[in-house]
Amino acid sequence: MLKLDLKIRAAQAADLPALIGVDAVAQRDPARRRMLGEAIAAQSCWLAEAEEALGYGILDRSFFQQRFIPLLMVAEAARGRGVASALMAEFERRCAGDKLFTSANESNLPMRRLLDKLGFRESGRIDNLDDGDPELVFMKRAARPAG
């Protein structure tokens, strides 16, 4: 597997088509596209790229005013190459010392494995968002910078 020369930066309005390109849901769902546009405008959307868009994540305070990652998306062809881990590391760096929350469906085993690997711990469960697939909430206290 080749190491990616990955860059993570704040997404801009001009990046919206690239974000949609890595997100199959956004390609068919106008509500998801609107949400992405709003996240970009709020400066809470981060793009991972290496010559082209490979993934994105949103970091906001939509969960009880706590730092929260409501969405993390990696292009199918880039999965397993460290893109999600790099985005999560960037979010942790931006939240130094704060609690960092995210969630995943119980059925989303790849995300749950990633969160476990990164030191997130299950913090709660929300039933009835998606029928038969509970949403699990995870938390990690982001490390403070050394020094």
Comparison of pLDDT for 146 and 122, the residue scoring more: 122
pLDDT value for 1: 47
Comparison of pLDDT for 98 and 19, the residue scoring more: 19
pLDDT value for 99: 95
Does pTM surpass 0.75? yes
Question: In 3-state terms, what secondary structure has residue 123?
Answer: strand
Query: Mean pLDDT in the chain?
Result: 94
Let me know: does 56 contact 102? Beta carbons within 8 Å.
Answer: no
Let me know: does 83 contact 54? Beta carbons within 8 Å.
Answer: yes
pLDDT band at 2 (very low <50, low <70, confident <90, very high): low
Give the model confidence (pLDDT) of 17-68 as tens digits. 999 999 999 999 999 999 999 999 999 999 999 999 999 999 999 999 999 9
pLDDT band at 140 (very low <50, low <70, confident <90, very high): very high
Indicate the CATH number for domain 7-141. Answer: 3.40.630.30
pLDDT at 82 over 70: yes
**What residues contact 72, with CB distance under 8 A and at least 6 apart?**
55, 56, 57, 58, 84, 87, 88, 102, 111
pLDDT at 123 over 90: yes
Domain ranges for the chain, please list them: 7-141
State how far the Cα of 57 lies from the Cα of 11, in Å rounded to an integer.
10
pLDDT value for 4: 72
pLDDT value for 146: 62
pLDDT value for 108: 97
